[in-house]
């Protein structure tokens, strides 16, 4: 039975971190929220909302994405990857799996901070209603938080005793795929602030390139399954939130 991934249609969002792992491993999965071409948006989301609003389901998630594997429902992006990692051959079977997961949770923290650059006040309100604090928060993010996170991840690569090609151990894990997505998203959202990314973080830039060149990832990125980044996702390109032009 294929894995069932439940997520919103029309955006990459947090679901994309899961998709990259499933695609790289060529695992059979159904992207439930995207549904069939003959369904309208309400129908495509109906199955997801039925789980979220269930009055009887014992494992209700707080929010998408969540994964169904038979009767089991796994919620939270990083938790889904924790669950899938060993099954997809994308996680070590030693205690290093906790190191992989710790890094994944740090990526999740940074993703939340990226989200809050455009929604610093209320996730339920439009960006346009919080543009002023968004600019202040985005400025702080680009000046302080982005360099702090990226210097850290660059150090993780540099200090990997198995070499700087992977974040953990001597082979690809799901957190390498997620790091690709994070870096892609940062470039989309903040092209000016990331203009010198490759010279500042050469190991991370090399990792991004290597992941993007993996055959199944490259095929996925070129497919219709890969939605483009857009302004309903986490990584939004609002030029006024980016660094100033030089």
Best CA proximity match to 149, nearest among 118, 113, 176, 119:
113
243 binds its own copies (CB under 8 A): no
Residue 237 DSSP SS3: coil
29 binds its own copies (CB under 8 A): no
**CA 40 to chain centroid:** 26
For the CB of residue 87, give the shortest distance to its own copies in the complex, in Å: 12
Q: Please say which residue, 5 or 217, places its beta carbon nearer to its own copies.
A: 5
**CA 84 to chain centroid:** 15
Q: Please say which residue, 27 or 106, places its beta carbon nearer to its own copies.
A: 106
Distance CA 164, CA 148 (A): 19
Position among 41, 43, 50, 125 found at the interface with its own copies (CB under 8 A): 125
**Token pair 């429902």: residue:** 73
For the CB of residue 13, give the shortest distance to its own copies in the complex, in Å: 15
Residues 126-155 that bind its own copies (CB under 8 A): 133, 136-137, 140, 144-145, 149, 152, 155
For its own copies (CB under 8 A), the number of binding residues is 47
Contact, 100 vs 88, CB < 8 A? no
Residue 174 phi, psi dihedral angles, 5° rounding? -60, -25
Position among 95, 224, 228, 245 found at the interface with its own copies (CB under 8 A): 95
159 binds its own copies (CB under 8 A): yes
Q: Is 35 left (phi over 0), alpha (psi -120 to 50) or beta?
A: left
For the CB of residue 97, give the shortest distance to its own copies in the complex, in Å: 10
116 binds its own copies (CB under 8 A): yes
216 binds its own copies (CB under 8 A): no
Best CA proximity match to 217, nearest among 11, 80, 26, 78:
26
Best CA proximity match to 113, nearest among 79, 145, 136:
145
For the CB of residue 62, give the shortest distance to its own copies in the complex, in Å: 5
Return residues touching its own copies (CB under 8 A). Answer: 54-62, 72-76, 78-79, 82-83, 95, 98-99, 101-102, 105-106, 109, 112, 116, 120-125, 133, 136-137, 140, 144-145, 149, 152, 155-156, 159-161
């Amino acid at each position: 039975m294929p894995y069932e991934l439940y997520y919103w249609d029309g955006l990459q969002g947090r679901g994309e971190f899961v998709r990259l792992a499933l695609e790289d491993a060529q695992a059979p999965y159904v992207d439930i929220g995207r549904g069939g071409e003959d369904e309208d948006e309400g129908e495509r989301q109906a199955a997801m909302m039925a789980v979220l609003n269930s009055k009887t389901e014992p494992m209700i998630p707080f929010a998408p994405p969540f994964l169904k594997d038979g009767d089991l429902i796994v919620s939270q992006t990083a938790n889904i990857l924790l669950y899938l990692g060993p099954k997809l051959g994308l996680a070590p079977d030693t205690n290093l799996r906790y190191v992989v997961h710790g890094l994944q949770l740090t990526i999740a923290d940074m993703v939340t901070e990226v989200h809050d650059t455009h929604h610093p006040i209320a996730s339920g309100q439009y960006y346009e209603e919080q543009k002023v604090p968004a600019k202040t928060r985005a400025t702080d993010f680009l000046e302080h938080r982005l360099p702090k996170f990226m210097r850290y991840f660059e150090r993780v690569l540099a200090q990997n005793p198995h070499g700087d090609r992977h974040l953990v151990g001597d082979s690809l894990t799901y957190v390498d795929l997620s790091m690709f997505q994070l870096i892609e998203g940062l470039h989309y959202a903040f092209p000016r602030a990331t203009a010198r990314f490759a010279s500042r973080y050469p190991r991370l830039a090399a990792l991004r390139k290597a992941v993007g060149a993996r055959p199944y990832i490259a095929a996925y990125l070129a497919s219709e399954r890969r939605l483009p980044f857009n302004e309903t996702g986490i990584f939004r390109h609002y030029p006024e939130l980016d660094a100033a032009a030089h």
